[in-house]
Amino acid sequence: MSEVSAHHADRRELTAAQRNAVAELLRVSPVADELGRRFVRAGHELHLVGGSVRDALLGRLGDDLDFCTDAHPDETLRILKGWAESIWETGREFGTIGAQRAGLRLEITTFRAESYDQVSRNPVVVYGTSLDEDLKRRDFTINAMAVSLPEHRFTDPHGGLDDLSAKVIRTPSTPRESFGDDPLRMLRAARFAAQLRFAVHPDVYTAMTEMAADLDRITAERIRDEFTKLLCGADPITGLRLLVDTGLAERFLPELTGLKLEIDEHAQHKDVYEHTLTVVENAVSFEEDGCDFILRMAALMHDVGKPATKAVGSDGRVSFHHHEVVGARLTKARMKAMRYPKEITAKVTALVALHLRFYGYGRGEWTDSAVRRYVADAGDLLPRLHKLTRSDCTTRNRRKAAQLAADYDALEDRIARIAAEEDLARVRPDLDGNAIMELLGVPPGPVVGRAWKHLKEQRLEHGPLDRDAAEAELLRWARAEGLIA
pLDDT at position 10: 43
Question: pLDDT of 138-171, one tens digit each?
Answer: 999 999 999 999 998 999 999 999 999 999 999 9
pLDDT at position 436: 79
Whether residue 354 has pLDDT greater than 70: yes
Average pLDDT, the chain: 85
Question: pLDDT of 396-412, one tens digit each?
Answer: 777 777 777 788 888 88
Whether residue 345 has pLDDT greater than 80: yes
Q: Higher model confidence: residue 428 or residue 75?
A: 75
- Mean pLDDT is highest, among 49-58, 85-94, 234-243, for 234-243
Q: How far is CA 389 from CA 253, 302, 415, in A?
A: 23, 10, 15
Asked if residue 207 lies in contact with residue 179, where contact means CB atoms within 8 angstroms, the answer is: yes
Over residues 218-235, mean pLDDT: 97
Report the range of poorest mean pLDDT among 36-50, 293-307, 367-381: 367-381
Spatial distance between the Cα atoms of 441 and 372, rounded to a whole number of angstroms: 31
Secondary structure (H, E, C), the chain: CCCCEEECCCHHHHHHHHHHHHHHHHHHHHHHHHHHHHHHHCCCCEEEECHHHHHHHCCCCCCEEEEEECCCHHHHHHHHCCCCCEEECCCHHHCEEEEEECCEEEEEEECECCECCCCCCCCECCECCCHHHHHHCCCCHHHCCEEECCCCEEECCCCHHHHHHHCEECCCCCHHHHHHHCCHHHHHHHHHHHHHCCEECHHHHHHHHHCHHHHHHCCHHHHHHHHHHHHCCCCHHHHHHHHHHHCCHHHHCHHHHHHHHCCCCCCCCCCHHHHHHHHHHHHHHHCCCCCCHHHHHHHHHCCCCHHHHCEECCCCCEECCCHHHHHHHHHHHHHHHCCCCHHHHHHHHHHHHHCCCCCCHHHCCCCHHHHHHHHHHHHHHHHHHHHHHHHCCCCCCHHHHHHHHHHHHHHHHHHHHHHHHCCHHHCCCCCCHHHHHHHHCCCCCHHHHHHHHHHHHHHHHHCCCCHHHHHHHHHHHHHHCCCCC
pLDDT at position 8: 44
Q: Residue 201's pLDDT band (boundaries 50, 70, 90)?
A: very high
Question: pLDDT of 430-483, one tens digit each?
Answer: 567 777 787 788 888 888 788 777 777 777 666 667 777 777 777 887 788 878
Q: Residue 377's pLDDT band (boundaries 50, 70, 90)?
A: confident
Whether residue 191 has pLDDT greater than 80: yes
Q: Residue 322's pLDDT band (boundaries 50, 70, 90)?
A: confident
Closest CA to 171 of 199, 146, 204, 197: 204
Interacting residues of 94 by C-beta distance below 8 A, sequence separation 6+? 109, 125
Q: Higher model confidence: residue 440 or residue 332?
A: 332
- Mean pLDDT is highest, among 101-115, 267-281, 352-366, for 101-115
pLDDT at position 447: 82
Over residues 49-59, mean pLDDT: 91
Over residues 22-41, mean pLDDT: 88
Interacting residues of 290 by C-beta distance below 8 A, sequence separation 6+? none
Q: How far is CA 153 from CA 35, 146, 148, 157, 353, in A?
A: 15, 8, 5, 13, 56
Asked if residue 149 lies in contact with residue 46, where contact means CB atoms within 8 angstroms, the answer is: yes
Is the CATH code 3.40.1280.10 the one for domain 167-252? Answer: no
pLDDT at position 11: 41
pLDDT at position 4: 43
Q: Higher model confidence: residue 409 or residue 123?
A: 409
Q: Residue 80's pLDDT band (boundaries 50, 70, 90)?
A: very high
Over residues 251-266, mean pLDDT: 80
Q: Residue 116's pLDDT band (boundaries 50, 70, 90)?
A: low
Which of 3.30.460.10, 1.10.3720.10, 3.30.420.10, 3.40.30.10 would CATH assign to domain 5-166?
Answer: 3.30.460.10
**Other Cβ atoms closer than 10 A to 441:** 9
Over residues 255-280, mean pLDDT: 78
Whether residue 16 has pLDDT greater than 70: no
pLDDT at position 454: 75
